Amino acid sequence: MKINRSKVKQVKRNKLSETVLINKDLSDKEKYIALIPQVENLLNEEDNYFSNLANFTAAIKQSFDKVSWAGFYLFDGNKLVLGPFQGKVACTNINIGNGVCGASAERKETIIVKDVNEFPGHIACDSESRSEIVVPIMNDENLFGVLDLDSTSYNSFNETDKFYLEKLIDILNSKINFKKIIL
């Protein structure tokens, strides 16, 4: 699919900050296509994993109005521990197998939840959350954590989100050595 480049804004750079700019008139697919090279640029500019995870979540939250919360839960060997995020205060620890994040970590697969009230064992960190997508961060069958996105609207996430978020996680995985992260 060709996208209209005039609708896509590029990364603005200066010595103090980088800003990801995505035109709000684009479809979700076009936003992801525009976001991928910008995220790659952000990750190429910094070696610190914490900064990269924080900017990754900021880029996602800024680019999609439907996202009310974007963050990482990192695997400490026993449970998922809250990492960098954008949004309201969140649950700090999630056991493997519990809630959407824990289920995604256990199954090692992306989970799309169109209505969180219908997901058995959903953990309501934000009572306004209505739908969710969780993408595991894997390398050679090793779990490093999950990316969690929430929305205050039902049915916010679909196969397009799954496809492109998994691509973004692959990019992140290629830039960050998760094996060096000690929780």
What values do phi and psi take at 50, rounded to 5?
-65, -45
Encoded tokens for 179: 């094996």
What values do phi and psi take at 58, rounded to 5?
-65, -40
pTM for this structure? 0.88
Q: Which residues contact 128 (CB under 8 A, 6 or more apart)?
A: 68, 152
Domain count of the fold of the chain: 1
Contact in structure between 93 and 81 (CB atoms under 8 Å): yes
Amino acid in position 32: Y
Contact in structure between 103 and 95 (CB atoms under 8 Å): no
What domain range is 39 assigned to?
5-180
Tens of pLDDT, residue by residue, the chain (183 residues): 555 554 544 444 433 346 788 998 999 999 999 999 999 999 988 888 999 999 999 999 999 999 999 999 999 999 999 999 999 999 999 999 999 999 999 999 999 999 999 999 888 888 899 999 999 999 888 999 999 999 999 999 999 999 999 999 999 999 888 777 766
CATH number at residue 82: 3.30.450.40
Angle at 68 between CA 114 and CA 132, to 5 degrees: 25
Amino acid in position 173: N
What's the maximum distance between 2 C-alpha atoms anywhere in the chain?
Answer: 47
